[in-house]
């Protein structure tokens, strides 16, 4: 290949090797870095001097506002300043303005030993290797933040909705709306005695099932154990939901001393009733005389109880109630809350007074209610077994061949009996009724129940707040990305321009031979 042919070949220089290439070919020296440091100081002084000259031309102001002017930008600035009043020269061709003298000196320093080539090469390498990737990484981080925030927004929104659904479901299970929990629960508890009496009425539908059970056990045991079956259930069928006193003693009490329950409603957000409205009067379960009480509060978790002077009832040293009209305190059964009797009540013998648990109806009293449920479960188990036998064996089986005709039941009849028993058990063991009975036993349970329900709403509110925080974070990331994208575009344009300018400068040194700076710079 001839020398002429070699001179027409393009010069390819990898951008990462620019500095080494320039030094090896002696287009610049190792001292250029120190010269660049001195140039930076002079550029700052020249800017201050130029600003003092009150330059108003827009292109000049934009260039002066750039904190990192390079050689080509300073060269452009110098040409623009020459066309202004500070670009005037004297008869010797020297600039009269100190600012112009400074800029002229800066250009000479740049061009000495090819210092400007070093600066441009360094800018290209720094932009391609560091500046552009850093901005891209920050933009990717913003985009990732947006995706993560959107995911969390949906998650928090779903959790908030789920907690609200749980709250509504829990309130529905309790039979309340949930607007004023304690007030609504106190209203439900007021209706508890009448609701319990309904179970006694419902139990009357089980007469056929109880009779069937008795006759069946009489046949199996030769009339030995039927009288021991389902005693309390049979009692309720015949007598109704009487007091525990009557079930225990067999006679009606002359007086039934009921416990009034005070539920404190003062902490409800919107009080529509006074706290006194929450005192629940249970009413007599039998048409007997009742006693009215002046009770200010009942605490079911009682410790040591003492009576202090002046008619003061104290529990573990804490005053529970004080009434100057108290004549006597009747302690009732062990563990029962004391009640007071007005002097205007009809006198009666001590043995005829139903107090404490004895004053509760048999379905209301926890002990007798459990016995009542046990009877129902026993009856359910019997009917379930009989239904299984009737379903899986032809007829009643050979062991029932000698049984009386009145205990031969078909599948439909036994199924109907079983369905009635299950219905009463389900209602008697329902969540709503259990909550009401717990409230009746301890008014403070209402506070715990309210706190438990409100906790769901509190968590739901926190989820909503977290969702809003994610929205704000996502918006910040979107705004940051919008600000970074123009910076990235500007940096790419500047780097490509510097590449072209450096290629032209190197080309001039080789008789306009084509120069290509190659590498990742061309994929920006």
Which H or E run contains 159? Answer: helix 132-174
Q: Residue 354: name the closest of 378, 364, 344 by CA.
A: 364
Distance CA 257, CA 484 (A): 80
* Angle at alpha carbon of residue 63, lines to 517 and 57, rounded to 5°: 140
**What pLDDT was estimated at residue 223?**
66
Question: Quick check: 470 pLDDT over 90?
Answer: yes
| Banded pLDDT at 325 (limits 50, 70, 90) | very low
Residue 226 has φ and ψ, to the nearest 5°, of: -60, -30
Q: Which residue has the higher pLDDT, 116 or 259?
A: 116
Task: Give the residue-averaged pLDDT of 233-257.
Answer: 86
Residue 411 class from Cβ within 10 Å (0-12 exposed, 13-18 middle, 19+ buried)? exposed
Distance, C-alpha 450 to centroid of its chain: 18
Nearest C-alpha neighbor of 297 from the set 244, 330, 259 = 259
328 close to 291: Cβ distance less than 8 angstroms = no
Residue 197 has pLDDT above 50, yes or no: yes
The confidence band for 418, taking pLDDT boundaries of 50, 70 and 90, is: very high
- Of the ranges 85-99, 281-295, 420-434, which one carries the lowest mean pLDDT score? 281-295
By C-alpha distance, which of 302, 328, 332, 327 is closest to 317?
302
Residue 89 phi, psi (nearest 5) = -125, 160
Strand partners, 474: none
What pLDDT is recorded for position 194? 80
- Say if CB 484 and CB 476 are below 8 A apart: no
Average pLDDT, the chain: 78
- CA 327, chain centre distance (Å): 54
DSSP structure class, residue 334: T
- The larger pLDDT score, comparing residue 232 to residue 293, is at 232
* Percent of the chain whose pLDDT exceeds 90: 32
Packed helices 411-428 and 207-221: angle between N→C axes, nearest 10 degrees = 120
pLDDT band of residue 441 (cuts 50, 70, 90) is confident
Distance CA 258, CA 473 (A): 60
Measuring CA to CA, which residue among 124, 5, 11, 6 is closest to residue 516? 11
Find out whether 253 and 286 touch, Cβ atoms under 8 Å. Answer: yes
Residue 292 has a pLDDT of: 37
Q: According to the model, what pLDDT value does residue 350 have? A: 56
Q: Which residues of 440-478 are buried (b: 16+ CB within 10 A; e: fewer)?
A: beebebbeebbeebeebeebbeebbebbeebeebbeebe
Which of 40-54, 385-399, 501-515 has the highest average model confidence (pLDDT)? 501-515
> What pLDDT digit, counting tens, does each position of 35-63 carry?
898 999 999 888 888 865 556 666 788 88
> Does the pLDDT at position 351 exceed 80?
no
Region 287-297: what's the mean pLDDT? 37
311 DSSP 8-state letter: T
């Amino acid at each position: 290949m001839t020398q002429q042919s070699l001179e027409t070949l393009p010069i390819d220089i990898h951008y990462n090797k620019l500095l080494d290439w320039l030094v090896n070919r002696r287009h610049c020296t190792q001292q250029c870095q120190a010269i660049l440091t001195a140039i930076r100081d002079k550029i700052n002084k020249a800017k201050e001097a130029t600003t003092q000259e009150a330059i108003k031309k827009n292109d000049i102001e934009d260039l002066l506002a750039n904190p990192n002017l390079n050689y080509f930008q300073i060269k452009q600035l110098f040409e623009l300043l020459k066309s202004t009043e500070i670009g005037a020269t004297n008869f010797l061709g020297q600039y009269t303005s100190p600012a112009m003298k400074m800029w002229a000196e800066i250009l000479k320093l740049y061009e000495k030993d090819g210092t400007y080539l070093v600066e441009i090469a360094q800018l290209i390498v720094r932009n391609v290797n560091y500046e552009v990737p850093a901005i891209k990484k920050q933009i990717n981080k913003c985009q990732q933040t947006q995706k993560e925030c959107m995911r969390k927004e949906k998650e928090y929104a779903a959790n908030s909705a789920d907690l609200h659904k749980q709250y509504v479901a829990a309130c529905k299970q309790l039979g309340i709306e949930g607007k004023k929990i304690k007030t609504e629960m106190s209203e439900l508890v007021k209706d508890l005695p009448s609701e319990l009496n309904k179970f006694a009425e419902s139990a009357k539908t089980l007469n056929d099932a109880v009779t069937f059970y008795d006759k069946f056990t009489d046949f199996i045991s030769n009339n030995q154990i039927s009288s021991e079956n389902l005693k309390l259930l049979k009692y309720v069928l015949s007598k109704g939901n009487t007091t525990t006193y009557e079930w225990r003693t067999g006679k009606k009490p002359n007086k039934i001393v009921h416990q009034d329950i005070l539920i404190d409603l003062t902490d409800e957000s919107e009080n529509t009733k006074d706290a006194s409205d929450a005192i629940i009067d249970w009413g007599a379960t039998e048409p007997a005389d009742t006693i009215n009480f002046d009770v200010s509060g009942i605490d079911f978790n009682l410790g040591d109880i003492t009576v202090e002077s002046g008619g003061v009832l104290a529990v573990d040293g804490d005053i529970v109630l004080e009434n100057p009209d108290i004549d006597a305190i009747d302690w009732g059964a062990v563990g029962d809350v004391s009640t007071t009797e007005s002097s205007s009540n009809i006198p009666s013998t001590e043995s005829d007074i139903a107090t404490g648990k004895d004053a509760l109806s048999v379905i209301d009293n926890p002990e007798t209610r459990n016995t009542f449920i046990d009877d129902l479960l026993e009856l359910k188990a019997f009917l379930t077994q009989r239904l299984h036998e009737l379903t899986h064996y032809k007829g009643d089986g050979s062991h029932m061949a000698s049984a009386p005709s009145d205990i031969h039941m078909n599948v439909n009849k036994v199924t109907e009996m079983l369905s009635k028993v299950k219905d009463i058990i389900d209602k008697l063991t329902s969540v709503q009724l259990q909550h009401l009975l717990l409230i009746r036993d301890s008014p403070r349970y209402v506070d715990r129940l309210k706190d438990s329900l409100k906790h769901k709403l509190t968590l739901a509110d926190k989820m909503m707040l977290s969702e809003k925080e994610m929205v704000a974070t996502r918006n910040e990331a979107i705004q940051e990305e919008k600000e970074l994208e123009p910076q990235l575009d500007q940096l790419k344009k500047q780097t490509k321009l510097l590449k072209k300018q450096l290629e032209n400068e190197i080309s001039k040194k080789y008789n306009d031979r084509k120069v290509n700076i190659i590498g990742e710079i061309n994929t920006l």
